[in-house]
Structure 1
Amino acid sequence: MASLSSLPDFDPRAVPLVGVDSDLPAVPAAAQTPAALRQRFAAPPPWTPEIVREKKFVERTPAQAAVLVPIVQRERPTVLLTERTAHLSTHKGQVAFPGGRSDPEDRDAAATALREAHEEVGLDASRIEVLGSLPMYVTGSSFIVTPVVALVRPGFVLRPNPDEVADVFEVPLDFLMNPAHHERHALHWQGLRREWFAMPYQDGERQRYIWGATAAMLRNFYRFMLA
């Protein structure tokens, strides 16, 4: 969700690299098991999210939204992500979590995330175990996003909605929880310095470029896991 991709000729890969956080510790593998994740969300430690708000770049009425952070319980756990289609009005072509705007009928953020995951990629709620939520994140396009973290049992069959989703893929959780893969980029635009994280992942011959709000929420998840 989120960033400056609506700007003409804007390629986040071409923006200068400020640094890579290889000096920070990775989350231990033992903390990334389903049992450890359940325990952490059952009794969260004191912690502070690193990023909670982007500098605004779109004037619009704020809207509540939620995304699902789906951790697939494979032998090496993965995070399921989507690539948005190129014709969408916002965040087109970007890597994102399944999710979207809340509906009045949704009882809470988890309900929004589960509904949107089913609508976008066909992920059935019966295979999802919601663990809890991370702090809300406000995008530069005025979405107030609640990340809902969940475990997903393998064996699901996905049915991506071709109007919204160009591709669905998985990235190892231990890759995302290792800050040696967390790049920091900065750009001066409209008189402001704008900064974001990127976590480029080489998926065979294809690079999955995770950046902007998705990378920021993963960074907050890293901070939560390390606390």
Structure 2
Amino acid sequence: MRLSPDDVRRSLAGLPAKDSPWISMLQTNARAAAVAIPIRFTPDPVVIAILRSAELREHASQVAFPGGKRELGDVDLYATALREMDEEVGLAGEGITRLGDLTPTPTYNGRYLIHPYVVAVDETLAPEACSGEIARILELPLGAYLRGEAPRGGVIVPWNGAELFMPHFRLDACVLYGASAVIFHELVEQIATGIGATLPPPILEHEMPWGDREPV
């Protein structure tokens, strides 16, 4: 699929348009965090993600996007996302172009509000695991999702008397779930709408494929 940075930029224009459906989960003392959603516009575009190490005390063996908490030297949350992307996967510099923002999304435990920033990565830049916290680099097949070839999954989760749709994406032996999956799901749907692609509906499952882990 030939997808251009301009296609994505147009698709994300005007976002965020409303609060995340998860916003009621946010705690009053929640902290701001930021993630980068790096897209490589290869002939079949991919989004760069990471698999966290199984040795971590928190978020072990989870699929995520490069990101973290804002530090004192970060001028804003976009700077946080860029710094974390550089520190975690070595992507930085003039080969990074901001394309748009997605909806700030709370983690399931309500402790953080994640601000996602979508960036284009020049083809001359290659990601690499730059931290011992990262087991390996993953590529999410954005083109396959936009063509409807890669299935999207989901479960219905009860919350405060209501029901929330929680998407997930199976990647070989890994599962992208929680707030990161909500963010990626919005990206796929926004681009599909922007380019006029029709997506098959997510496949609803009765059990959470990540087991008894907290879906952060």
- Give the TM-score category using the shorter length: 0.7 to 0.9
C-alpha RMSD of matched pairs (Å):
3.1
- Distance of 2:46 and 2:128 partners within structure 1: 19
- When residues 112 and 147 of structure 1 are mapped into structure 2, their CA distance, relative to the original with a 3 A threshold, is same
1:215 partner SS: helix
- Partner residue of 1:85 out of 41, 53, 60: 53
2:130 maps to a residue whose letter is N
- Distance of 2:151 and 2:70 partners within structure 1: 31
- Residue 123 of structure 1 and its aligned partner are, at CA, apart by 1.4
User: Is the 2:19–2:104 Cα contact (8 Å) retained in structure 1?
Assistant: no
Query: 2:4 aligned with 1:36, yes or no?
Result: no
Residue in 2 that maps onto 1:215 = 181
- What are the superposed Cα offsets for residues 129-184 of structure 1, whole Å, 9 maximum, x if unpaired? 11121121111231111000000012224341342211102122123446672211
- Partner residue of 2:96 out of 120, 128, 153: 128
- When residues 169 and 46 of structure 1 are mapped into structure 2, their CA distance, relative to the original with a 3 A threshold, is closer
- Residue 188 of structure 1 and its aligned partner are, at CA, apart by 7.0
Residue in 2 that maps onto 1:158 = 127
1:217 maps to a residue whose letter is I
1:153 maps to a residue whose letter is D
- When residues 40 and 196 of structure 1 are mapped into structure 2, their CA distance, relative to the original with a 3 A threshold, is closer
Higher relative contact order by CA 8 Å / sep ≥ 6: 1 or 2?
1
- What are the superposed Cα offsets for residues 41-88 of structure 1, whole Å, 9 maximum, x if unpaired? 4x43795566443747xx894211100000001111110010011222
- Distance of 2:73 and 2:131 partners within structure 1: 24
- When residues 52 and 221 of structure 1 are mapped into structure 2, their CA distance, relative to the original with a 3 A threshold, is farther
- When residues 93 and 192 of structure 1 are mapped into structure 2, their CA distance, relative to the original with a 3 A threshold, is farther
TM-score (norm 2): 0.74
- When residues 52 and 160 of structure 1 are mapped into structure 2, their CA distance, relative to the original with a 3 A threshold, is same
Identity %: 28
User: Is the 1:65–1:144 Cα contact (8 Å) retained in structure 2?
Assistant: yes
2:188 maps to a residue whose letter is Y
2:14 maps to a residue whose letter is P
- When residues 44 and 192 of structure 1 are mapped into structure 2, their CA distance, relative to the original with a 3 A threshold, is closer
2:174 maps to a residue whose letter is R
TM-score (norm 1): 0.71
Query: 2:166 aligned with 1:200, yes or no?
Result: no
Query: 2:68 aligned with 1:100, yes or no?
Result: yes
- Distance of 1:85 and 1:61 partners within structure 2: 28
- Distance of 1:113 and 1:176 partners within structure 2: 24
Count of matched residue pairs: 191
- Distance of 1:49 and 1:65 partners within structure 2: 16
Residue in 2 that maps onto 1:10 = none
